[in-house]
């Protein structure tokens, strides 16, 4: 008796979640299909009922993350600079840095994506666009920058700070990078309490 459609979709979603966690921890090339399926409680043969290649799964993990972020932004009841500041602070934080399984793929998969094909790069870009659009929609244009430019600049600050913090060996330096990024972002954008921001590290 064949499984219902809902079961197949749930299985696919479980594979995607497990894959994203493993990719975040170790990168694309260091994770095997066998490991992904074992974590999902499935056999390797079942993988090909859902995906043709590991690269296809990689794309889906990125698209899935982007869709989640887009959905949260679309369904949020709150808007404005304060919301943007809260998102910024949560992104550039020790909690996000240590959440290896579920942190943003922009900070953990950039090296893999730079060597990947067009589909992977397009999916990664979608995640970036989703993050930037959250800031773009919740800040007021200042000086000579448009809201779009501010959104991209804030997103770049978020990702850059986390990539560096994740890479350096010195935890104190990692903390300094996060705090500096938070203070710089707040000061540049003119958020309230810009001079008093301190990270919750």
| Structure confidence by residue, pLDDT tens digits, 20-32 | 999 988 888 899 9
CA distance 156 to 151: 9
Residues whose CB is less than 8 angstroms from the CB of residue 90 and which lie 6 or more positions away in sequence, other chains included: 96
**How high is the pLDDT of residue 192?**
54
**How high is the pLDDT of residue 114?**
83
Instruction: Give me the CATH number covering residue 123.
Output: 1.10.357.10
**Residue 121 placed within a domain:** yes
CA distance 74 to 49: 32
Could you read off the pLDDT of 37-72 as tens digits, one per residue?
999 999 999 999 999 999 999 999 999 888 877 776
174 Cα distance to chain centroid: 18
CA distance 73 to 170: 34
40 DSSP assignment:
T
**Residue 201 placed within a domain:** no
Contact (CB, 8 A) for 153 and 141: no
**How high is the pLDDT of residue 162?**
94
Alpha helices in the chain (DSSP H): 5-26, 33-39, 44-47, 54-75, 81-91, 94-98, 105-108, 110-114, 118-136, 147-167, 171-189
Could you read off the pLDDT of 73-129 as tens digits, one per residue?
665 556 677 778 888 888 999 899 888 888 888 988 788 888 888 998 999 999 999
**Residue 191 placed within a domain:** yes
CA gyration radius, the chain? 19
Better-predicted residue by pLDDT, 197 or 147: 147
Structure pTM? 0.78
What does pLDDT average to over the chain?
Answer: 84
**How high is the pLDDT of residue 31?**
94
Q: Domain range spanning residue 126? A: 5-196
**Residue 48 placed within a domain:** yes
Residues whose CB is less than 8 angstroms from the CB of residue 157 and which lie 6 or more positions away in sequence, other chains included: 92, 181, 184, 185
> What values do phi and psi take at 43, rounded to 5?
-95, 160
**Quick check: 140 pLDDT over 70?**
no
**How high is the pLDDT of residue 196?**
45
**How high is the pLDDT of residue 108?**
80
Q: What's the pLDDT band for 200 if we cut at 50, 70, 90?
A: very low
**Residue 67 placed within a domain:** yes
Please state the domain count of the chain. Answer: 1
Q: What's the pLDDT band for 6 if we cut at 50, 70, 90?
A: confident
């Amino acid at each position: 008796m064949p499984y219902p459609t809902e079961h197949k979709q749930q299985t696919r979603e479980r594979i995607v979640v497990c894959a994203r966690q493993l990719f975040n921890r170790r990168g694309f090339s260091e994770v095997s299909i066998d490991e992904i399926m074992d974590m999902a409680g499935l056999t390797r043969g079942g993988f090909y009922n859902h995906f043709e290649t590991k690269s296809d799964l990689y794309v889906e993990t990125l698209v899935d993350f982007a869709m989640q972020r887009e959905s949260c932004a679309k369904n949020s009841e709150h808007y404005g600079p304060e919301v943007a500041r809260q998102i910024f602070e949560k992104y550039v934080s020790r909690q996000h840095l240590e959440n290896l399984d579920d942190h943003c793929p922009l900070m953990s998969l950039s090296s893999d994506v730079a060597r990947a094909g067009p589909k992977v790069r397009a999916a990664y870009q979608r995640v970036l666009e989703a993050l930037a659009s959250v800031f773009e929609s919740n800040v007021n244009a200042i000086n000579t920058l448009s809201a779009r430019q501010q959104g991209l600049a804030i997103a770049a600050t978020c990702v850059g700070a986390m990539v560096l913090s994740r890479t350096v060996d010195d935890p104190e330096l990692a903390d300094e990078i996060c705090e500096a990024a938070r203070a710089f972002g707040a000061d540049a954008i003119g958020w309230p309490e810009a001079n008093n921001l301190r990270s919750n590290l």
